[in-house]
Amino acid sequence: MYDTDKRKLLSLLCHGSIFFSTAVIFVGVPISILLISDDPVVKDNAKEALNFHFNIWLYGTIIAVLWASIIGIPIAAILLIPFFLFQWIPLVLAILHVLGNTDQPYRYPFIFRLPL
C-alpha cells in the first residue's frame, strides 16, 4: 500500500506547478516527480499535469499569434476570457480532487493528451 500523505503531496505539487506555467522551468516539477515516484496514481497525475502544461502553452501560442496579426486581434480578445477560465477552473478542480480523493488520478477535461 502506498502512503496517502506522500501521494497527496506529490500529486498536489504536480498540479500546483501549473500555477507557474508561464515560467517554463516549472514543467520540470511533474517531469521529475514522474521519473522519481513509483506510485501509479502519482505518475498518472504527473502525466496529466504535463499534458495540461502543454495544452496551456499551445492555446497561449495560438492566441499570441492571433494577437500579433492585425486581423486576429478581435478574435484573440474574445478568446482571452475563455482561455483564462480554461486555465484556472480545471486547475482548482484538480487540486480539490487530489486533496479529497487520493486513490484516483484527476483527468483534465477538453485537453489533447500526448502519450507520455
pLDDT in tens, the chain (116 residues): 688 899 999 999 999 998 887 677 788 999 999 999 999 999 999 999 999 999 999 998 998 888 888 888 888 889 889 999 998 999 999 999 999 998 999 999 989 998 87
Q: Residue 30: which domain range? A: 4-100
Which class for 57: exposed (0-12), middle (13-18), buried (19 or more C-beta within 10 A)? middle
> What local confidence, expressed as pLDDT, does residue 89 receive?
94
The number of domains in the chain is: 1
Residue 110 domain-assigned? no
Residue 114 domain-assigned? no
Residue 106 domain-assigned? no
How far is Cα 11 from Cα 78, in angstroms, rounded to an integer? 33
* DSSP code for 112: P
Residue 108 domain-assigned? no
pTM check: above 0.75: yes
C-alpha torsion angle, residues 54, 43, 85, 95 (rounded to 10): -150
